[in-house]
Each structure stands twice: as structure tokens, then as C-alpha cells.
Structure 1
Amino acid sequence: MTGVALAEELLLLAYDDETGKATMPRISLDLGMAAAVLVELALAGRIAYSDGSLVVADPSPTGEPIIDDVLARIAADDSPRSPSSWVQRLRHGLRDRILGDLCGRGVVRDVDETELGYIHVHRYPMVDPSVEQDTRRRLADALTGGPVPDERTAALATLVCAVRMESVLGLTGDAAADAHRRLEEIAGGAGFSGTVGMDDSIVRPSVALVIAALGRAVDQALGKRA
């Protein structure tokens, strides 16, 4: 596995480049990144859905430390767990790990400030915008209704839709509603949402069930989408 992880792309979209602060509810971002790691593993053929649980189909490392840690955690777990359970379990502490990794690679920087004389607040302004620029370009191309996006871009679009991130694309009102409909079309067309049978493939149902679990978790955290 090479390139930028889906969870990293979600985080970069969600943080303001100048202020280095999250621009959306952190609970939904954390849930989205947890689901993104599971989607990444499913796309790489490392995990699959079986009998109500996510199981390891291939324990070989992907080469991405954060993703491989999750793979090892799933492999070592003694109890079968559903996609919903893993989305909830993985969200804790994941954002800090991904931010630390992005800082180490020089994509963002950690600004440690003190408020009220003793409260430490961390901001993460952008240093290297090229990663986020590529992410935004791919999503923009997908939203124009052009060629069918590649698998990873379709997965990213599906996650953006599930986490209600249309606002971070700079869209409001009718434009945001149109973007939401297009993102749903991409997700359905890729087999990453809606009704997907196990006969379609191993990957598609695995991803679709993770996305469904993510949608329920976001609804529970933020209330039903209007």
C-alpha cells in the first residue's frame, strides 16, 4: 500500500489550513477516520465481513504503520466484532496518531499554545498543501459528473458523504445539497453503499457494511440528517 491513507485525507479536509483547527464536529471526524482505516483494510484485501463480524482475511502488513496496527489489533482480538463495534473502538486516540504522523512527514506542524495561563491547545496549520490539493482535485473532478472515479476516490467520496463533510468542500445551500446527491451516486455506483449482496464481491459488502455502521454512529452523535 502506498500513497496517502483515506483517514489522512479526511483529516486534512476537516482542518483549516491557516488556523490548524477542526472545522467540523470532532466526534464525526473521529468516527469517519476509524471507518476509513477499516475501508482501507477491506480494499487491500486484509479484512472481510463474515457471519456478522469483520475478520482478518490476510494478516500480511500493508506497510502503513497505523493501518497495520489496526490489522494486528483485529487479528489478536479474541471476540468476533461487528463493523459498528470496530468503528467505535478504533476512533479513540486515532486522530492524535494521524496528526503526529502528518507532522512527522512535514505535511502539517504542531503549534502548542497556552490559554488562560495553563490550558494547552494544539493547532495544526498546513505546511505542505500538495496532499490536500490532490484530494480536493479528485473530489472536485468526481463531483462534476465526469468519468467514473477510481476505487479509492469513490471510497473517499463515500466517507465524505457519510460524515457530512460537504461544508469542508466550501459548499453551502443548493450546491451542498447537489454535492450530497452526487456523492451518494458515486457511493452507490461503486457498490460502497445501499444494497450490496455477498455475491457481488468480498470487498463491496465489507466496505458497505462499515459505511452503514458509520452512518448510524454519526446519526447517533449528531442527530438525523435534515
Structure 2
Amino acid sequence: MTGVAVAEELLLLAYDDESGKATMPRISLDLGMAAAVLVELALAGRIAYVDGNLAVTDPTPVGEPILDGVLGRMAADTPHSPSSWVQRLRHGLRDRILGDLVERGVVRDVEETELGFIVVHRYPTTDPSVEQDSRRRLAEALAGEQLPDERTAALATLVAVLRMEPALGLDGTAAQDARRRMEEIAGGAGFSGTISLEESVVRPSVALVVTALGQAVDHALGKRV
């Protein structure tokens, strides 16, 4: 596997292109990064839900540094529940993904000092093509009636759970309509709801990660009205 990870797509959507600042709560963004990596590893056939836990079923690297780093960590550890992995992986993952995007020239790291002693970092976009592709695919998925490709379906599912409709420039009725469509996509792709383990090993693994993410976001931000 090569290219852009779903977690990177989410991160680019969540940061303002000009100011380079996050446009959503950091806690939910960190949780989303962990869930996105787990979802992508499940879709790549590297991890699966086994006996109540997420476990590595194939330790072969996928060829993407962030994913392979997490895969190696999971392979060296004992299996844990989807909820536990989301919490365990969220610490420091966003910074590693931002660092990878900086190295590739997608964003730049602007270091500043606030109040004379607080060091902060902004990440303005330098190469908008990656985010433009993500936004195009999401826009087509929201406007269409057919189920999008698996990667776009995963991205839409995570955007909905993370309450990122404002990052798409949507609010009010438009945001509600978009959320309903993204939830429809998630259900159609088997990324939410109850899926029999006999039907698919991948789909229940993804659905359980998505459920764990939703519960963590609700706990952090309060249930969405």
C-alpha cells in the first residue's frame, strides 16, 4: 500500500488551510486518528476482531509508515478491546502524522510563542492537492445515491462520528443532511450496526472500532443532540 492514509485525510480536513490551526476539539481529533489507523489496518487485512479483542492476524507491513508503526506496536503487545486500542493509540499519534505530512511537504510547521513562553505550532497547507482529493470524493459521495468506494466510505464514516460537518463547510440543515447521508454510507458499507462474524471478519472489526470511537467522542464532548 502507498499513498495517503485515511488518518492523514482526516487531519487535513480538520486543520484550517490558512491559519494551520485545528478547527475541532483536540481530544476528538486524537481519538479519530487512532480509530482511522485501526480501520485502515482492518481493511488491509492486518488486524481483526478475535475472541473479544482486536489482534494482529498478519504482521506484514502495508508500506505506509504511520500504519506500519502502529501495526508493529500492536504485534508486540497483547490483544486489547477496540475501545482500549483507541485510547492507547491516541497519545502522540496526531503529532507523528503531522510530522509525516511536514516531511512530505503537504503542510509546513510554523512555531510561535504565545504570552512570551508558550510554544505553539501551526500547520498551514503548502500542497492542497491531497485535501482537495478528499473533499472531492466526499462531495461526490454526499451528492450521489450509490455506495462510494471502500476508502471513501471509511472516511465519510469517521467524519460523521467525529462531528466534522463544519470542516466540510456545512452547518444547519445542510450539515444534518450530510450527517444522515454519511451514516447511510456507513451502514451500507457495513461499517456500523450489527454485522455477523460469519458474514465478514473485516466489517465487524471496523464497526466495533467505529462504535468505540463514537462512545469515546460522546464521553469527551457529550452526546450529540
Is the TM value for this pair above 0.5?
Answer: yes
Moved over 3 A (4+): none
- What is the rounded CA distance, in whole Å, between the counterparts of 1:117 and 1:68 in structure 2? 39
Question: Equivalent residues in 2 for 1:69-80 (5 A)?
Answer: 69-78=69-78, 80=79
Alpha-carbon deviations, 1:18-55, whole Å to 9, x = none?
00000001100110110000001000000000111001
- What is the rounded CA distance, in whole Å, between the counterparts of 2:115 and 2:73 in structure 1? 39
- What is the rounded CA distance, in whole Å, between the counterparts of 1:69 and 1:106 in structure 2? 21
Name the count of aligned residue pairs.
225
**1:150 corresponding residue in structure 2:** 149
**1:117 corresponding residue in structure 2:** 116
Superposition RMSD on alpha carbons, in Å? 0.7
Q: Which amino acid aligns with 2:132?
A: Q
**TM-score, structure 2 as length reference:** 0.98
* C-alpha deviation, 1:16, in angstroms: 0.1
Q: Which amino acid aligns with 1:50?
A: V
Tell me if the contact between 2:3 and 2:64 (Cα under 8 Å) persists in the aligned partners.
no
1:166 and 2:170 matched: no
Identity %: 79
**1:136 corresponding residue in structure 2:** 135
**TM-score, structure 1 as length reference:** 0.98
- What is the rounded CA distance, in whole Å, between the counterparts of 1:15 and 1:149 in structure 2? 24
SS at match of 2:210: helix
Unaligned runs of 5+ in 2: none
Alpha-carbon deviations, 1:102-142, whole Å to 9, x = none?
00000000000111222111000000000000000000000
* C-alpha deviation, 1:195, in angstroms: 1.4
SS at match of 2:7: helix
- What is the rounded CA distance, in whole Å, between the counterparts of 1:196 and 1:13 in structure 2? 29
Alpha-carbon deviations, 1:60-118, whole Å to 9, x = none?
0111111111111111113x310000000000000100000000000000000111222
1:195 and 2:194 matched: yes
- What is the rounded CA distance, in whole Å, between the counterparts of 1:142 and 1:199 in structure 2? 28
